[in-house]
Amino acid sequence: MVKFRYMKTEIIDFKEVVAEDLMGERILLPTPYQKDLGNKMYVSGNGIEMADLGRKIFYASRDQEDLLLNAAELTMLIEIYDVFRLLGQPLHVAIKEYLSNKLEILNKEEDGNNK
């Protein structure tokens, strides 16, 4: 009997990302950010996996669905994120930290299941 392993996923909600400017004011992501990121990855990305991830990000936003990413997708997004820079430094850093924290959560869950 073949056993299928369920891939853990984490909800990515770009509305949770908050940064501060030099005056301590909160900076939030623009509303169309997720769609813009997904579209840019789809159009400019190199390879099928990146295009698929871009499509997934875009359609989750367009259809107002949860964006569920597994560890491999999150890792790819973090690794290529600098290429698709759409915002200034504070938000860019905040998004990378947010994604890295989500990946850490997934990795801890995976480690706990492998014991």
- For CA atoms 70, 74, 76, 77, the dihedral sign is positive
What pLDDT score does 113 carry?
Answer: 64
What pLDDT score does 86 carry?
Answer: 67
- Residue 27's domain comprises 9-113
- Provide block-wise average pLDDT over 10 residues at a time, the chain (115 residues): 68 90 89 88 88 94 91 89 75 90 87 62
In a domain, 1, yes or no: no
What pLDDT score does 114 carry?
Answer: 56
What pLDDT score does 107 carry?
Answer: 87
Phi, psi (deg, nearest 5) at residue 31: -55, -45
In a domain, 73, yes or no: yes
What pLDDT score does 82 carry?
Answer: 76
How many domains, in total, are found in the chain? Answer: 1
In a domain, 2, yes or no: no
CA distance 45 to 58: 13
CA distances from 5 to 8, 27, 85, 106, 113 (A): 9, 39, 34, 15, 11
**If DSSP codes are grouped into helix, strand and coil, which group holds residue 51?**
helix
Token pair for residue 70? 């597994």
Tell which residue, 32, 31, 41, 33, has the closest CA to residue 83.
Answer: 41
Bridge partners, 20 (sequence order): 26
Please count the other Cβ atoms lying within 10 Å of the Cβ belonging to residue 11.
11
